[in-house]
Structure 1
């Protein structure tokens, strides 16, 4: 009885969430290698480092944009590392790429590129954000339940040699229906661990209630949000761009622990706004640091070092890296690509299994019943 109920749940939940899982998984496959593909096809992402050269400070790049693109104002600059261009975000959707060693503008690119469109499909199915994110989130939750019901259906009744072979191997020489069933059943099991991680981390990003629950269960303590505000009484004769340069230098030399040639720094717009510096962009995680615009003191709103985070705080910090496969560089990215590809195939192979059974039942109902003709006896 329980197994029939489990099979019923697996079937109808799979049919209900199939399209969502297919779209999210296919777009996820593409996004796994987003940076690698961009690096190959976009020459403006590269800037050869001259011998002995060092980064120019943010103020130099800021002033270069002001001179080269009149009427545009830069809001932040991201240094991507040696032999890479830096990019500055402007008003609207434009991104300016600059040589960080010469301040030369190499490209002005629309933010709405191919990968941005793919990401919109992955995050909210190309629907209005609020509607699409809700559908995507609940579809991910259903998929998470499907992984549990799928394991129950896959679990062999007996662990003998024949059952183990059927559960772990695909019989490529069998009929198409059997091969399709094995692709659904066997590949689904092999991708189980990665599928659980991807779905779990996706739920962490989709639902605040899920995020908070996991955070608390992992020992995290929810504290009131602290605002990052600069002390305007210390303003004095400071100049914003000079302070940003100092904050950038502090981020590179003192604050950052990992990938110390990569940093993001924002240009504050208001007198009481803090200078935001992002460091430790490592394995899909990052560290948000807020510095007083005038004293450059680190404010309480800043995140601690990754080494100092534990439990729920660590899960939150590493959630993105765990979701996209950046925790182990290229090796885990390849595994995540294959796992996402299998996840994309499950709704298709599952639908074909259901459709084949449905057609079989329909044919049985429509098949004419055999009748025996009445043959009178000879002497009748």
Structure 2
């Protein structure tokens, strides 16, 4: 027997334990949460341009004829006209515009519905110009995005899926990162082979587009978690030198023995002295506070670009100075919502968020197809490997006994 010529069977170098764990963490939680993530991402993507769509839906009702004297009606006349033309509805928000040709935008809701609408009114005559109910669609989409319209239970399901999504962005970057940087790996990591076979094309869609959208997807996921988990929001506020107490808790309360001043002169006074073109006030706050809180900036459904707050005593008309820590609280919450809604960099921010939303919707699908394709060919491949190993061992054994 010849013992000097042993044949060693070559062994393929396996992945490290860390890489195997990262691959597992990227794959299996995403497989489980895949359908949820598709629905959440798609509904969130639909919401991104809600402000622009509703602005377009307003049509001619956005503009009015401007009289020479520029005399505006009072908010009491405006509310009376609103109630008459929209029975059962209440006002949640007024938005006033710097442009004298712009109508007043009223966000309305029906407590028994619930139904939402945008109502447009002439600031000079008080006439109700249009009631647009497209807001209801975006309201449903927003709650579907946040909780599948299933209350707290749905909210927790979405939150857990979002945690998986955030983890998958981190693990995806680790898996995407090439072991060596050269021309071939750069081309494979940053470009898509559009003419490749479906499996390679699908892999490129997942790998390349996943990388390009990674930062925005990570921001969308983390801000979503901050919004859902109140302790995270409080921590974020504290880290930005804000207080967890709300500004409204420090303001004067409503006094039914006093007569509040009209809000409309305040709104247009703020617009006249400010560079911002829009100012908003929430109507429900007026019903419990003895102060008016105006926020100027570009007013969206959930956040305001370049937000600036002015507060007035509703009975004396004097401006109330607010401590910076309370203003920082409001600013931080608004920034979190801006980042989540894509309102953080004008139209470029919205476009980035919209494209990232489309990619995020596709990632669970392309990822599943990659896994399914490998799963189908795994069994024959293993059989071939076992057969080859048996062959090598047989040859080695034959060599040894001869």
User: Is the structural similarity TM-score above 0.5?
Assistant: yes
Query: Which gives a bigger RCO, structure 1 or 2 (Cα 8 Å, sep 6+)?
Result: 2
1:295 aligns with: 316
Within 2, Cα distance between the matches of 1:333 and 1:142? 24
Distance 1:7 1:122, change over 3 A: same
Match of 2:108 in 1: 89
Aligned to 1:201: 223
Distance 1:142 1:258 in 2: 42
Larger radius of gyration: 2
Q: 1:120 aligns with which of 136, 139, 143?
A: 143
Q: Which one of the candidate residues 299, 314, 317 is aligned to 2:334?
A: 317
Whether 1:150 and 2:172 are equivalent positions in the alignment is: yes
Which residue does 1:190 correspond to in 2?
A: 212
Offset, 1:132: 1.5
Aligned match of 1:339 = 356
Aligned partner of residue 338 in structure 1, secondary structure: helix
Asked if the contact 1:231/1:292 (under 8 Å) is kept, the reply is no
Q: TM-score, normalised by structure 2?
A: 0.76
Confirm or deny: 8 A CA contact 2:240 2:332 kept in the other structure.
Answer: no
In the alignment, what sits opposite 2:191?
169
The number of residues matched between the two structures is: 358
- 1:239 maps to 2:255: no
Deviation at 1:156, TM superposition (A): 0.3
Q: Is the 8 A contact 1:66 1:73 kept in 2?
A: yes
The Cα shift of 1:59 comes to 2.5
Whether the 8 Å CA contact 1:85–1:99 is kept in 2: the answer is: yes
Deviation at 1:295, TM superposition (A): 2.4
Cα pair 2:75 2:262 within 8 Å, conserved: no
Deviations 1:201-228 (CA, angstroms, capped at 9, x unpaired): 2122111122233334x34253544514
Please tell me whether the aligned partners of residues 285 and 321 of structure 1 are also in contact (alpha carbons under 8 angstroms): no
Instruction: Check whether the contact 1:230–1:293 (CA below 8 A) recurs between aligned residues.
Output: no
Partner SS state of residue 76, structure 2: helix
TM-score normalised by length of structure 1: 0.80
Q: Which runs of 5+ in 2 are unaligned?
A: 1-16, 299-303, 389-402
CA distance in 2, matches of 1:13, 1:292: 52
- What SS does structure 2 have at the residue aligned with 1:327? coil
CA RMSD of superposed structures (Å) = 3.4
User: How is 1:260-275 mapped onto 2 (pairs within 5 angstroms)?
Assistant: 260-266=277-283, 273-275=289-291
**Runs of at least 5 residues in structure 1 that lack an aligned partner in the other structure:** 371-380
